[in-house]
Amino acid sequence: MASAQKRSEEAPHRPGDKERQGADSTTFRYTNKRGYDITRNPHLNKGMAFSLEERLQLGIHGLLPPCFLSQDVQVMRVLRNFELQNSDLDRYILLMGLQDRNEKLFYRVLTSDIERFMPVVYTPTVGLACQQYGIAFRRPRGLFITIHDRGHLATVMKSWPEDVIKAVVVTDGERILGLGDLGCYGMGIPVGKLALYTACGGVNPQECLPVILDVGTDNEDLLKDPLYIGLRHKRVRGQAYDDLLEEFMKAVTDRYGMTCLIQFEDFANANAFRLLNKYRNRYCTFNDDIQGTAAVAVAGLLAAQRITKNKLSDHTVLFQGAGEAAMGIAGLIVMAMEKEGTPTEEAVKKIWMVDSKGLIVKGRVSLTHEKERFAHEHKEIRNLEDAVKALRPTAIIGVAAIAGAFTTKVIKDMASFNERPIIFALSNPTSKAECTAEQCYTLTEGRGIFASGSPFDPVTLPGGRTLHPGQGNNAYVFPGVALGVVACGMRHISEEIFLITAELIAEHVTDKHLEEGRLYPPLKDIREVSLKLAVKIVEHAYENNTASVYPEPKDKEAFIRSKIYNSDYDTFVVDSYVWPRDAMTIQMGKL
Q: Which residues belong to the active site?
A: 122, 193
CA angle 571, 573, 579 (to 5 degrees): 120
Is the CB of residue 46 less than 8 Å from the CB of residue 56?
A: no
CA 500, CA 261: separation in Å to the nearest integer?
A: 19
Three-state DSSP at 239 gives helix
Name the burial class of residue 483, with classes exposed (0-12), middle (13-18) and buried (19+) by CB atoms within 10 angstroms of its CB: buried
CA 68, CA 50: separation in Å to the nearest integer?
A: 7
CA 125, CA 87: separation in Å to the nearest integer?
A: 10
CA 54, CA 61: separation in Å to the nearest integer?
A: 8
Q: How many contiguous H segments (helices) and E segments (strands) does the chain have?
A: 26, 18
Sorted by sequence, the CB contacts under 8 Å of residue 464 that are 6+ apart come out as: none
Q: What is the dihedral of CA 159, 163, 169, 171, to 10 degrees?
A: 20
CA 450, CA 503: separation in Å to the nearest integer?
A: 18
CA 583, CA 378: separation in Å to the nearest integer?
A: 87
Q: At what angle do helices 269-279 and 239-256 cross, to 10 degrees?
A: 40
Is the CB of residue 461 less than 8 Å from the CB of residue 441?
A: yes
DSSP-assigned letter for residue 497: H
Sorted by sequence, the CB contacts under 8 Å of residue 410 that are 6+ apart come out as: 384, 385, 388, 396
DSSP-assigned letter for residue 177: T
CA 591, CA 230: separation in Å to the nearest integer?
A: 50
CA 258, CA 11: separation in Å to the nearest integer?
A: 20
